[in-house]
Amino acid sequence: MNETVLFLVIGAAVILVGLFLWSRMEAKKNDQSKVGLSKESRDEIYQRMTQIRPPMRENNQKDLVSQLKGDEALSESSFDVVDVKDHDVPAASEIQLKPAQNQTPVSNAAAVVTPMVSTAAPKASAKEESPKDTHEATQESLNFDSPAKPAEELKPTEKDKEEPVVAPTAFPKEGLARFKYDEVTETVGMVQSVRPIEGAKMMEMVATLQKLGLALRIYVRRVDNKRWYQPSAVGRYNELAVVLLLANRQGCINEMDASRFVITVQQIGIALEADSDTEATHEIVKRAQKLYNDVLRLDVQLNFVMASKEPLNPNDVAEAARLAGFTQLNPVRYFLGSVRDIALATIFLTHDDFDRRYLTLALDAPLAQPDSNPLRTLFSVANDLCARLNLQLQDSRDRAINTESAQSINHQLKKYYGEMIKANIEPGSPRARVLFTRD
């Protein structure tokens, strides 16, 4: 009995002491807004924590990739020339320049740019030129009233044979002092290490990048001579550069692609215990979509149809094309020029597979340089083929092309090249070939 009473008394005393301490702590908290037994108020503690928080690092795109200058001056409206008022052209001979019919915008998120071979030589950064100077180069009028030049004049002269077109060479063995990229069509991810990294380890990182399936060019910088090379298991490196193509006529980088690219570069930096830096994901997507819209708007192909009353013999077509200066790609397709000029081809000839009465002569307008008179060359070759095979020259709507039509086409082509220059895409430049090459 005595033990029970003693136990109850002790329990009551403990409860009273606990209530007393709790009441004192609550009173102190209410009076001075202080937490627990600390002598600092809650506001003072929060302020001190805010002051010692490490600063957040902000991604600055200007530290990585130069932005497209004069971006606000570019035209955002779609270019579609459907009428020409400067010439009195009969309704039956009007010609329209429109984007190629086989181009449709990529609407799903899975559309990506076709991967490029990582062993290709780096593309030189496209140099900006004055729009006025380039536009003046297209102002030369065409004299379509004069007789067409014979096809023999299109063949290379002795001087041309002595100075052949230089094909892209392999990556230089001595490396590059500075790798090049196009600030309009590409973005760069960098990984920099303070300690040397073995080539075998670097190749593992390169394999991870190649699994992305994107259009990438990869460079590594050697420690000994500070020059850039293509990835190799031999040597020691301290920098990795990844150049990503944003868009071309086949598609563009979407949000998922950009996220995978940025995350992979960051993970490589962590794996190598190095610093990594990339352009922000939303900026990559924004630039890629704008570039792709310009490509769709400016992807124009000028087609002439040459019709015969009877089906054409493929052997006769091949012989006439050869005499006109074409080189055969396959049984029904030819390009103007020799084998060494295939990388610079702009005019193509196709024999219709379904109806052997028709030949189609096409000019890839973005790939042609305005000062090379591509329209004059197109008409000269068309007239030569028509004379050899007894064909009639007409447009894609079966309307005969006459002098008035030619003047209308010339006028619209000049306007088109002006739109390309406004979009910072020089006609016939390496940048244009990256964006608009079809084959």
Summarize pLDDT for 283-321 with one digit per residue, the tens.
Answer: 999 999 999 999 999 999 999 899 998 999 999 999 999
Q: What is the pLDDT of residue 395?
A: 75
**Higher local confidence (pLDDT), 44 or 51:** 44
Q: Name residues whose C-beta falls within 8 Å of residue 264's C-beta, 6 or more positions apart in sequence.
A: 208, 209, 212
pTM, two decimals, is 0.61
Two tokens, residue 266? 């960051």
- Each residue of 58-111: pLDDT tens digit? 444 444 333 334 444 444 444 444 443 444 444 433 444 555 544 444 444 334
Q: How many CA atoms lie within 13 Å of 298's alpha carbon, on the beta-carbon side?
A: 33
- Each residue of 366-375: pLDDT tens digit? 999 998 899 9
How is domain 84-100+140-166+300-436 classified at the CATH fold level? Cell Division Protein Zipa; Chain: A, (3.30.1400)
